[in-house]
């Protein structure tokens, strides 16, 4: 089963930046969106290294300083923004779980979430 959820509007996202969301109300972010101009990408906030820990060291700190790659703060894994592929670090060659994303004509950022798999450690 899957459901479509509005995460935010495009304007809520920094032009070149990232933001975390908690669409299923787990009490912590489980999804993050990276925006690069008109492109947006969404991933589960889970690092493939240990499999069940979130990436950022501070809320929304998903990117390196130059905004060129997604990073996991725990052990420094780096991921391509457009594909989620880990290009260096502990989980080299593995990928973040991508979430289908659509921007509506009105600018709503809509994610399709798998409702069977919340992807998070149970609290």
Partner 1 sequence: MNIIGPDALLFGIDDIDAATQYLTDYGLEPIGNGRFEALDGTAVIIAPKDDPSLPAPLETGSMLRKTLYGVADQATLDAIADELGRDREVKRLQDGSLEATDDVGFVLGFQVTVRRPLSLPAEAINAPGAPPQRPVNEIGVEGGAQPRPRTLSHVVYFVPDAARTEAFYAERLGFATSDRFTGVGSFMRPVGTQDHHTLFFIQTPPHMQGCEHFTFHMGGPTEVMQAGNHMVSKGYQSFWGPGRHLFGSNWFWYFKSPFGCNMEYDADMDLHDEQWTAREAFLSADTTQAFLLQPREKWAPMGPPPKAAE
Closest CA to 43 of 108, 106, 107, 94: 94
Binding of ligand FES by 95 (CB under 6 A) = no
Q: Is 65 helix (H, G, I), strand (E, B) or coil?
A: coil
Contact assessment for residue 94 and residue 86, using Cβ atoms and an 8 Å cutoff:
yes
* CB closer to partner 1 out of 27 and 37: 27
Q: What pairs with residue 118 in β-bridges?
A: none
Binding of partner 1 by 101 (CB under 8 A) = no
Binding of partner 1 by 58 (CB under 8 A) = yes
Stretch that binds partner 1, among 1-9, 57-65, 98-106, 109-117 (CB under 8 A): 57-65
User: How far apart are CB 41 and partner 1 at their closest, in Å?
Assistant: 21
Residue 47 tokens, joined:
């690092």
Binding of partner 1 by 25 (CB under 8 A) = no
- Backbone torsions φ then ψ of 63, nearest 5 degrees: -110, 160
Binding of partner 1 by 119 (CB under 8 A) = no
Q: Is 35 helix (H, G, I), strand (E, B) or coil?
A: strand
User: How far apart are CB 72 and ligand FES at their closest, in Å?
Assistant: 3
- Backbone torsions φ then ψ of 10, nearest 5 degrees: -55, -35
Residue 48 tokens, joined:
């493939």
Count the site residues for ligand FES by CB under 6 A. Answer: 10
Find the binding residues for partner 1 in span 79-98 (CB under 8 A): 88-90, 92
Residues making contact with ligand FES (CB under 6 A): 47, 49-50, 53, 72, 74-75, 77, 89-90
């Amino acid at each position: 089963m899957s459901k479509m959820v509005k995460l935010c509007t495009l304007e809520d996202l920094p032009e070149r930046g990232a933001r975390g969301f908690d669409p299923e109300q787990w009490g912590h972010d489980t999804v993050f969106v990276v925006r690069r101009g008109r492109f947006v990408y969404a991933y589960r906030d889970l690092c493939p290294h240990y499999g069940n820990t979130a990436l950022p060291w501070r809320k929304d700190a998903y990117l390196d300083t130059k905004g060129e790659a997604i990073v996991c703060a725990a052990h420094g894994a780096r991921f391509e923004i457009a594909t989620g592929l880990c290009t260096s670090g502990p989980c080299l060659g593995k990928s973040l779980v991508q979430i289908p994303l659509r921007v509506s004509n009105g600018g709503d950022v809509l994610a399709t979430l798998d409702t069977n798999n919340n992807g998070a450690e149970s609290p």
